[in-house]
Structure 1
Amino acid sequence: MDASENQSKSISQDSDPPTAHHFQNVVVMRHGDRIDNFEPLWTSQSPRPWDPPLIEEGKLRAFCTGTKLRSDLGFPIHRVFVSPFVRCVETAVQVATALSATEGPSLSKYESDQPVPVDPSKLKVSIEYGLCEMLNKEAIHGDLAPKDEQWDFNIPDLEAMFPAGTVDQTAKRVYKDLPHWGESVTGARARYAQVIEALADKYPAENLLLVTHGEGVGSSVSAFLEGATVYEVEYCAYLELRRPIKDQSSAAGKFEVIGNCGRTGVSYSLLTSVTDD
């Protein structure tokens, strides 16, 4: 058993582990409000135009979504995996803070000058390259992407943004490197689905939160709900996936999409077949 497995079994929880109910839960979430959609001049003035941060309202939305997840999910989140893009990291910081707060998180605590006290044993956080934005011109305009494909994600600096003690330094990424620039839309969607399943298989006894991009959330619908066509993923929208597991092993059933269309900001339609009477 490696160090990450030992650590995953030592994380204290507010309720029974998911295997007690024979289900594993995975929540896939989009980042909050990105600054370049609200300040048009930001892109032309930034040295990293491909990596916009959140506006303050986006951080607030992320914190409130974390509070909602904490109260509404009905199960604990054991691990958070996040795309290295700063908008996703800033979102995950707020969500992880709300989920691991020692007391019930509130707006007054968020607006306080003092950091929200957290219990780092409640969950662990890791940056996962496989959850990154689609690296193509459909998602990032070609003139904004770095010409040498050097995205320059400073992982130690990104990890330092999270509450002390929550980052799992022993976790190994599913994608050791970023995808190459120019991946197809189809390829990126397949990547998201593959990473979701790989992370779930790696930690079958734990519930996961994956903070990614709009296409990542949409791909989790189309990959695990037959006939689904996604047409909107709002900021901080999330999707719940669930699958049966057996004896804390990776031998598991298929994921199913939980919840109603649009309830958590993800809207989609289902293809229905028409038969003759």
Structure 2
Amino acid sequence: MSSPPSEKDPERATAVGDSVNGGAEEKKGEREEFLQNVVVMRHGDRIDNCEPMWISTAPRPWDPPLTEAGKIRAWCTGKKLRSKEHKIDRVLVSPFIRCIQTAAEVVSALCAVDEASLLKETSANVVLDPSKVKVSIEYGLCEMLSREAIRMDLIPKDGNWILEISELEAMLPAGTLDRSAERVYQEMPQWEEQHSAARHRYKEVIMALADKYPHENLLLVSHGEGVGVAVTAILKDMVVYEVEYCAYAHSQRLITFIPSGGFKAEDFKMLTKNGKTGICFYSREEDY
């Protein structure tokens, strides 16, 4: 996912600064280092996969919500993420309802005021401290807009894939929304995306968000394909063949902030092990 600054990537070169390789004027003791963690997570159980007849009467059949079991799974996953050594500072989420609802459950777990709340089976009536996490919606994390992910007969006739942003933001825990955050992707992708284009989008937006918030640990709530890309962008010889609901990929990189401005980032390392967090993959070499 990480690449060194070059003439082909002028924005990253600018962000890192002219003295990316160090210089006589820079003293090692003056640099600040941060171990950045990026977690890319799939949404919880979607209702159309559990109740096939739901589609026949749904006003928005291309944008299914979570089941109750899906909300509970998301809440439990949020509790797992809270228990990790690294604290999640910011959550960025796909604008599809199932992802918004997943993020709401996870954020509730991350923002719960006391540990006793985490013993509850659901997030209902949990007291939150919204200052613990910042949340915003990112179009670039959205579902792959192609017939591989969405049936042709379910495509919205008016081209409006998502609810109004104000409606989606209202679903997130009160006080957590970061209204100052600018999206990496200012608009939704256009139908119909090629599979390769969607995978490139996921890879691009994950890296862009990591670079945009280099001082923060991030949780990106997306879709199965996005989680798969988060793995294969780092483990390039791997093929992801299963991403369970609420599965997540955890990567980490060392960032050094340069006094003159910008930062130098090492390549991401994948911390997730095969089958441990709901993601299964194998080496391409096993095909031979």
Post-superposition Cα deviations, 1:5-57, rounded to whole Å, max 9, x if no partner, equal xxxxxxxxxxxxxx976311100000000000011111110110000000000
Q: Is the 8 A contact 1:25 1:240 kept in 2?
A: yes
Cα distance change of structure 1 residues 95 and 273 upon mapping to structure 2, 3 Å threshold: closer
- Mapped to 2, the partners of 1:103 and 1:20 lie a distance apart of 32
2:246 maps to 1:236: yes
Given the alignment of the two structures, is residue 216 of structure 1 paired with residue 229 of structure 2, yes or no? no
Query: Where does residue 134 of structure 2 map in the other structure?
Result: 124
RMSD: 1.9
Residue 35 (structure 1) aligned to one of 47, 63, 72:
47
Residue 58 of structure 1 corresponds to 70
Shift of 1:244: 1.2
Contact 1:202 1:250 in 2 (8 A): no
Instruction: Tell me the TM-score normalized by structure 1.
Output: 0.87
Q: Distance in 2 between matches of 1:266 and 1:56?
A: 22
SS of the residue 2:270 aligns to:
strand
Equivalence for 2:207: 197
Whether contact under 8 Å (1:201, 1:250) holds in the other structure is no
Counterpart CA distance in 2 for 1:136 and 1:202 is: 28
Q: Distance in 2 between matches of 1:94 and 1:247?
A: 33
- Mapped contact 2:99–2:221 kept (Cα < 8 A): yes
Large movers: runs of 4+ above 4 Å: none
Contact kept in structure 2, 1:84 and 1:128, CA below 8 Å = yes
| Matched letter for residue 47 of structure 2 | I
Q: Deviations over 1:135-176 (max 9, x none)?
A: 000000111011332224211111111221100001000000
Is 1:88–2:99 an aligned residue pair?
Answer: yes
Further displaced range: 46-55 or 19-28: 19-28
2:4 aligns to what?
none
Secondary structure at 2:98 match in 1: helix
Aligned residue-pair number: 254
Identity within the alignment, %: 56
Residue deviations 1:206-251 (CA, integer Å, cap 9, x gap): 0000000000000111111120100000000001011110127443
Q: Which residues of structure 2 form unaligned runs of 5+? A: 1-30
**Relative to structure 2, which stretch is displaced further, 188-197 or 20-29?**
20-29
In structure 1, distance between residues paired with 2:286 and 2:123: 50
Matches for 1:152-231 after TM superposition, within 5 Å: 152-231=162-241
What is the alpha-carbon distance in structure 2 between the residues aligned to residue 68 and residue 62 of structure 1?
10
Judge which range, 250-259 or 261-270, deviates more. Answer: 250-259
Aligned partner of 2:281: which letter?
Y
The residue number in structure 1 matching 2:275 is 262
- Which residue number corresponds to residue 26 of structure 2? none
1:140 pairs, out of 150, 154, 159, with 150
Q: Deviations over 1:46-92 (max 9, x none)?
A: 11000000000000000000001111x21000000000000000000
Gap regions ≥5 residues in structure 1: 1-18
Contact 2:108–2:123 under 8 Å retained in 1: no
Counterparts in 2 of 1:111 and 1:119: CA distance versus 1, 3 Å = closer
SS of 1:126's equivalent in the other structure is strand
Query: Residue in 2 aligned with 1:10?
Result: none
Partner AA of 2:222 in structure 1 = T
Which of 81, 97, 102 does residue 113 from structure 2 map onto? 102
- Please give the TM-score of this superposition, normalised by the length of structure 2: 0.84
Q: State the 1:110 CA deviation.
A: 2.3
Q: What displacement does 1:106 show?
A: 2.3
